[in-house]
Amino acid sequence: LNILEKRDASMYGGISQTSIFETLVTSFQDIDFTFFQTNHEGEMIEMIQQTEDADAFIVNLGAWTHYAYAIRDALEMKTSIVVDVHLSNIFERESFRKVNILDNVSQKTFYGEKIQSYLKAVQYCKTKFA
């Protein structure tokens, strides 16, 4: 996701990860966001395990969505809301992408609406705390 703007714009929206983060901060000024991106599965697991005070985890696991069971286990142990987000519609893509290891861990999945998937995920979390 760190080079998102270089991926297929018709599928991913032609936007950068930074612009997604900026849009979220601008759109939800009442929320204190912490953003984290890594290309290393172990670093992601450690971040999830070490984060004790998050009300919610909104995650876009990218390809990890389909096989990263250790990340799934780390998220499953959290008492926070877990929402997973995908810019593309993973259910209309290659067969291996139809597997979502977070199916029974995340409270909600938003997919296929590019940046709107993120905006809807944050709004969903807000309704849980209203």
Question: Given phi > 0 = left and psi -120 to 50 = alpha, else beta, which region is 75?
Answer: alpha
- The catalytic position among 40, 86, 118, 124 is 86
Long-range contacts of 17-25 (CB under 8 A, 24+ apart): 20/115, 20/118, 23/115, 23/118, 23/119, 24/118, 24/119, 24/122
In 75-129, the DSSP E strands lie at 81-86, 108-111
Active site residue 40: no
Determine which one of 12, 66, 67, 124 is catalytic.
12
Tell me the catalytic residues.
12, 86
